Chains A and B, each alone.
Chain A
């Protein structure tokens, strides 16, 4: 069996069903990466694990007679560089020239399913790690099929033939290009088992090859889903209610005066669609309509009530998640106890490309264009709206202008809206969200609170740890909501605490899941966005109480993880940890494991009143084999900047269900002048790759907080810092 998730202690959670993998069944899967259980109606036979079939390489590799090679990429390219890194995996074993490769986005088909679940998805920092064996095997199979085709044509044994640089070579028979052999190769049966290259022979993996999409993203040619143009297309913007609100009315007459407006349509959920011949007219018509809402009085939908109810809940016992030893006793015996309450706000994904989707439907067939992380599930949602079997729906996964989880929507919200309108008009419809729609449209990183009480003994060791988390899960509305209601545990709310590597002998974790009308979703690194902050700032407090250096303290507290040790050692070395800092500057440290990778940051910070300035970040990363060093560095930088915006400024506040923030002036994000200097160091490793899209984010905010403490003696427990430092 392939090792799809190296570093996982056991495979027991993988693929619970075997014989049940037939069409039409709802199948439950636990993702070993720490994702909650997800259910998908399965519209395919067995998932993509059958490597004896020739269908596999043929689905991923298209070779033209002129020897140019198209690689079919089955994961959304949302910035993380998968169309390059996954292509590298195939190209390495295929033995072709990198310069002759172009990449295309895969349609929806069972052969493109993720290797760990019977659906297509990109997310959870899983693309490279879960494709590592599969795509190298795909490349190797194709190589062997080309060799077999040449062996047949030349009448020589396959073992006398060598594949290199897009051609096969025989000492006596000469050479043939892949292009000349492609047709014959497609008909060969791949051998079994498939020999994969020794990593010492890698020519492409481990190299910083240029991104395959760098040119098109630098000359305006790259097509994002909002760029899709279909003849006869209508454009729609939708007035969506504030949370808990109902539609009161709108000025239809004023809207209809706007030239270009075609129709105003009420669609489900109190929404009103303004459909026009261009998106400007649609936006103007909606503005002119001045849609009125009857707002909700639910205390959970106004900031004061929300905070009050969460705080009250924090005081009460919750669902027990994990108990080790005797935490209550240990706390009693402690020489000193520390008690801290943490607050984290709702956060928007705020992708550069606001949400949008285009759907065309003629009554019998349909076509969806979107930059989606979960195209199979989105197609299923559309099929229900359109009343079509999924096979009659073609899906084009375009580039996405950022996603960070927003375009992996278990409710398929953006697809259902466009499908609904396409069905009504029987014309292609593109639903465009404005920036305000996008900021206010929900599916946020949940507001969350933590309370931690921990003790230290006379020798500065942890003596008892009592941890409570209050917040919404992100699986509400999914098929597993019922099960989570029963157990009271959403794994994404506790990840990073329940599996902490810190040696805490007496430990207790409780969770209280909250339900509010505000929609929530995974947001780059999910539960780790808040759990890492709590763990890494609290550990720092304990280090101070024990009068120990924070880095040394962590090394002592994580004795059993060589990866954490390696990251901490690399950090110590490259940041020159412990050096004397100039006045007004301090270094802060944090280390956290998420998505199977371990990342640590040392940040250099200064403070100007409540303004936090991050000057420099030194990062150490253990992510196994690095497929593309430049791309990997880019992902760590990306996660850092994304996390920096959130901890400095990110804050969505509610007033009667209305989100007050709307655009980049009141939902501020980091810009060029604030960009710190970032140095990224990778722990050399021959392990299979582990996740990298998200792991750079969680340790950033706590590292900054730990530096702030050195500057002003204050422990910041509220995010964003702009609020927490006041």
Chain B
């Protein structure tokens, strides 16, 4: 057991845990931020996606010790022009159905638009292939990413 100071959504939070605890469990059970979800535990589904220094990572296989000192963004702390545009597009197009995968989808989409302000459908396929949606909202996600790109461009 050790203490780790984690920078989460702009605040420093101290957690006491084993070094090998994945960030997903730290964020959900120790810090109480439940927007990031557990679904597969093996980095296969993307539901646990967070941003670490802006990069999308699967928090179910990233340990607390690996992210100490880095900037973690969870869905609750998503802000900025691109993140806000993505969330606006998601709501305007009523993208979520059950919603369980959408935190991960939104963060992955934000990371994509940060890298590629005008992604092609192929770019979307590649960037979003790691995020599973069992409700099948893929068409709406694609539409929302294009819409968010447009919103960012016009802002």
Residues of chain B within 8 A of A642, CB atoms compared: 134-136
Q: Which of B31-82 contact A (CB under 8 A)?
A: 32-42, 44-45, 47, 74-76, 78
In the complex with contacts A226-B38, A280-B22, A637-B136 CB distance below 8 A? yes
A229 within 8 A of B: yes
| Highest count of chain A CB atoms <10 Å: which of B32, B45, B131 | B45
Residues of chain B within 8 A of A499, CB atoms compared: none
Q: B34 near A278 (CB under 8 angstroms)?
A: no
Q: Which of A624-668 contact B (CB under 8 A)?
A: 630-631, 634, 637-642, 645, 663-665
Q: A673 near B96 (CB under 8 angstroms)?
A: no
In the complex with contacts A280-B25, A672-B142, A217-B99 CB distance below 8 A? yes
Closest A residue to B87 by CB, please name it. Answer: A218
Residues of chain A within 8 A of B126, CB atoms compared: 673
| Count of residues in B whose CB is under 8 Å from the partner chain | 59
Please give the distance in Å from B21's CB to the nearest CB on chain A. 5
A227 to B28 CA separation, bound complex (whole angstroms): 8
In the complex with contacts A80-B97, A352-B47, A638-B129 CB distance below 8 A? no
B138 within 8 A of A: yes
In the complex with contacts A210-B92, A641-B138, A235-B34 CB distance below 8 A? no
A637 to B103 CA separation, bound complex (whole angstroms): 21
Please give the distance in Å from A283's CB to the nearest CB on chain B. 8
Residues of chain A within 8 A of B35, CB atoms compared: 219-221
In the complex with contacts A222-B99, A352-B39, A352-B101, A214-B132 CB distance below 8 A? no
Q: A672 near B29 (CB under 8 angstroms)?
A: no
Q: A214 near B100 (CB under 8 angstroms)?
A: no
Closest A residue to B138 by CB, please name it. Answer: A675
Please give the distance in Å from B104's CB to the nearest CB on chain A. 9
Residues of chain A within 8 A of B142, CB atoms compared: 672, 675
- Contact mask for chain B residues 116-155; partner A; CB cutoff 8 A; 1 contact, 0 none: 0000000011101111111111111110000000000000
In the complex with contacts A352-B39, A352-B101, A402-B98, A634-B106 CB distance below 8 A? no
Residues of chain B within 8 A of A262, CB atoms compared: none
In the complex with contacts A218-B96, A664-B44, A678-B139, A350-B38 CB distance below 8 A? no
A223 within 8 A of B: yes
Please give the distance in Å from A287's CB to the nearest CB on chain B. 11
Residues of chain B within 8 A of A219, CB atoms compared: 35, 75-76, 78, 87
Q: B139 near A675 (CB under 8 angstroms)?
A: yes
A221 to B97 CA separation, bound complex (whole angstroms): 15
Q: B42 near A663 (CB under 8 angstroms)?
A: yes
Residues of chain B within 8 A of A279, CB atoms compared: 25, 29, 38
A523 to B25 CA separation, bound complex (whole angstroms): 30
Q: A630 near B37 (CB under 8 angstroms)?
A: no
Q: A211 near B38 (CB under 8 angstroms)?
A: no
B94 within 8 A of A: yes
A639 to B134 CA separation, bound complex (whole angstroms): 10
A671 within 8 A of B: yes
Partner of B33, one of A220, A640, A678: A220
Q: 11 additional contacts, CB 8 Å, given A216-B99, A669-B134?
A: A81-B97, A211-B96, A217-B99, A219-B75, A279-B38, A402-B134, A435-B41, A638-B97, A672-B131, A675-B139, A677-B139
* Residue positions of B touching A, CB distance < 8 A: 1, 18, 21-22, 25, 28-30, 32-42, 44-45, 47, 74-76, 78, 87, 90-92, 94-103, 106, 124-126, 128-142
11 A-B contact pairs sorted by A residue (CB < 8 Å): A223-B34, A280-B21, A352-B47, A402-B98, A402-B134, A432-B38, A630-B94, A634-B94, A638-B137, A663-B44, A672-B131
